[in-house]
Structure 1
Amino acid sequence: MSGLRGLRFLAVRSLRRCCRPGCKNPAVATLTYVYSDSTAVVGPLATVDEPHSWDLCDTHGSRITAPKGWELVRYEGGFSSSTPDEDDLTALAEAVREAGLGDRGRSERAASTEDRAETGTQPGPARTGRRGHLRVLPDPAN
């Protein structure tokens, strides 16, 4: 590693393309199939490229249909190739954390707050009872 000390690395941003054959447009939406619910979901472009999801351009994302007998859920906010700002990401993370805790987490938090007030201890990490499906990504500016 000492030979690399003087080198500077440039951040290369990979441009994901629409997965439809012959389409070279940039992807702005992700199509995901939820097999257990027979639902196809077209939402904003996923942060990472998942093996069982398909990236679509604006044209294909707005025109795609679900298989016969399936329900199609389409994000109504429109698709954008810009990245969300930090406030949006923080709000989303908080909403996911709250949803993961559910009613059980709210009652446990209230009880543990009272216990901590009596004992003077700090809370530990919250556990939701299932393996997390969200990923922490490095800041692209660094």
Structure 2
Amino acid sequence: MRYLARVRSCSRTACAAPAVATMTYVYADSTAVLGPLSLTPEPGIYDLCQRHAERTSPPNGWEMIRLPLNGSAPAPVQEASDDLMALADAVRAIGLRHDDIAPPLTSVVIPAVATAPDPARGGHLRLVPTGE
């Protein structure tokens, strides 16, 4: 049986072009990050075609980090601060790693129950008569 690869399309309304970039927002830092297409679609990210990736701008008051889309040299940055570059480096280090090793699994010992409840006894709730 042959399976066809599903091509993700641009997230912009009425655009059916194939996606080449992924944009996500870092709300805590008011930063939009545009980089290569993510391996899997995720909620809260936007896949963009080449045209929309080039023309997209961040919301007012936000910074935009543009990572290289094809592995070439990064796009020129306009007077970026050291904090912004540190954030971009952190995003690159986390987002482009493919050699992550899963942490070792730890086993948890759950002690067995000493005695099983007596089914004839019923539950732990009782009816209490009202004093009249």
TM-score class, shorter-chain normalisation, is 0.5 to 0.7
8 A contact 1:28–1:79 mirrored in 2 = no
Q: Displacement, 1:126?
A: 8.5
Q: Post-superposition shift, 1:21?
A: 1.4
Q: Provide the C-alpha distance between the structure 2 equivalents of 1:33 and 1:51, rounded to a whole number of angstroms.
A: 12
Bigger radius of gyration among the two? 2
Give the alignment's Cα RMSD to 1 decimal: 2.7
Are the structure 2 counterparts of residues 18 and 79 from structure 1 closer, same or farther at C-alpha, using a change threshold of 3 Å?
farther
Consecutive aligned runs of 4 or more in structure 1 exceeding 6 Å deviation = none
- Once the two structures are superposed, the pairs formed by residues 34-113 of structure 1 within 5 Å of their partners are 34-75=26-67, 77-79=68-70, 92-94=97-99
Q: Which residue of 1 aligns with 2:17?
A: 25
For the structure 1 residues 61 and 31, does the alpha-carbon distance in structure 2 shift closer, same or farther, using more than 3 Å as the test?
A: same
With normalisation by structure 2, the TM-score equals: 0.54
Aligned to 1:12: 4
In structure 2, the residue matched to 1:125 is 104
3-state DSSP of counterpart to 2:28? helix
Q: Distance in 1 between matches of 2:37 and 2:30?
A: 21
- Count of aligned positions: 82
When residues 55 and 126 of structure 1 are mapped into structure 2, their CA distance, relative to the original with a 3 A threshold, is: same
Q: Which amino acid aligns with 1:16?
A: R
Cα deviation for residue 28 of structure 1 reads 0.3
Identity %: 42
- How far 1:63 moved relative to its partner? 1.1
Is 1:29–1:79's contact at 8 Å kept on the other side of the alignment?
no
TM-score scaled by length of structure 1: 0.50
Distance 1:79 1:63 in 2: 17
Could you tell me which runs of 5 or more consecutive residues in structure 1 were left unpaired when the two chains were aligned. Answer: 1-8, 81-90, 98-123, 128-142
